[in-house]
Structure 1
């Protein structure tokens, strides 16, 4: 592939630093992971946003989380004949092959994908309405959440956070349309969790189904 270039020098230097320190100090653990395979207890679906670092939030070590990231931490509904298979395949592997005990959706503040959905649905982002926009068609998944936010008649300032949290709820709802997820949940082998984190303050909230809202962890 003629367009592929060598790794940028800064990243190469960081790699060599990691290999000489973190990897060297935990060589036995990495060898164990390589030979025995992965046994993560949880799958985390979070946003691609570079500011969201779920392993740091939970102090997780290598091998603890099976992580999938996409724009706005969305899960599509169960559609075997649809085109959005990347996230669905990751969920299937985590639940049926790795048999994780927990599946966690992590949303966050200042989410660009969610803001894009707000702008698109309000008619402020015609470029996202184009059929050729991958981001726009992906954010169509959040339209039900947008409608619920609009029905609450919130102030414009309150809408982004509300829709960020709706992205978590829409994903949880869509997860339950997967037969193998529903079977695992109803069989007590899998629990679903919805979280939202405020990047600047480092706050973390969880969705309380009984209370019907997000509460501080």
Structure 2
């Protein structure tokens, strides 16, 4: 690959710092992880947003979470059409190979992908309607959620509600995967919906009994 370049110097320095401190002090742990393979208890599906730091939120160590990130933490419905489905493949591997006990869908405040869906569905982002837009076609997954919130009064209310709909739509779509449904119904897997406010550091979970999100 002629277009690939060496790593930026600041990242090289950070790597050497990590190797000399964190790794050096925990060599046996890293070697154990490498030799014994991964055995995470939970899969976390979160947004690509650089401000969402899953392991920091839960104070997790290496090996605890199987993490998959994509735009707006979305899970598409089950559709084995022979095309490439990165998220679906990750879910399949987590459930069938890693045997995770939990799948957590984590949404967040001020999500750019969710805002893009709002703009597209309300007619303010025609570029996302183009068939060639990867982001637009990915955000089509969230259209059912938009239909549920489009009558809310303000743009902020719509965005906040749609961020949480991104979590709920993903939970609904997870249950369209036969192996997920079987594991849930068999008591081997539980699904969880969370939303975090980046600025406040707060965390909310979806309570099915109340059909709403509540503070953790």
Q: Same fold (TM over 0.5)?
A: yes
**TM-score normalised by length of structure 1:** 0.98
- Indicate the SS of the match to 1:49: coil
CA–CA separation in structure 2 for the residues paired with 1:52 and 1:154 = 28
CA–CA separation in structure 2 for the residues paired with 1:127 and 1:202 = 33
Give the Å deviation of 1:186: 0.2
After TM superposition, the structure 1 stretch with the greater mean CA deviation from structure 2, 184-193 or 155-164, is 155-164
CA-atom RMSD, angstroms? Answer: 0.8
Q: Aligned pair 1:213/2:208, yes or no?
A: no
Paired position in structure 2 for 1:165: 164
Contact 1:44 1:105 in 2 (8 A): yes
Q: Unaligned regions of 5+ residues in structure 2, if any? A: none
**TM-score normalised by length of structure 2:** 0.98
Aligned residues: 216
Deviation by residue 1:32-64 (Cα, 9 ceiling, x = unmatched): 000000000000000000000010000000000
CA–CA separation in structure 2 for the residues paired with 1:84 and 1:52 = 26
Alpha-carbon spacing, 1:84–1:216, altered in 2? closer, same or farther (3 Å)? farther
CA–CA separation in structure 1 for the residues paired with 2:84 and 2:162 = 21
Give the Å deviation of 1:84: 5.0
Give the Å deviation of 1:83: 3.3
Alignment of 1:95-174 (within 5 A): 95-151=95-151, 153-174=152-173
Give the Å deviation of 1:82: 5.7
Alignment of 1:24-35 (within 5 A): 24-35=24-35
CA–CA separation in structure 2 for the residues paired with 1:163 and 1:122 = 13
Contact 1:76 1:84 in 2 (8 A): no
Which portions of structure 1, spanning 4 or more consecutive aligned residues, are displaced by more than 6 angstroms? none
Q: Unaligned regions of 5+ residues in structure 1, if any? A: none
Alignment of 1:66-81 (within 5 A): 66-81=66-81
CA–CA separation in structure 1 for the residues paired with 2:170 and 2:27 = 37
Give the Å deviation of 1:150: 1.7
Give the Å deviation of 1:181: 0.2
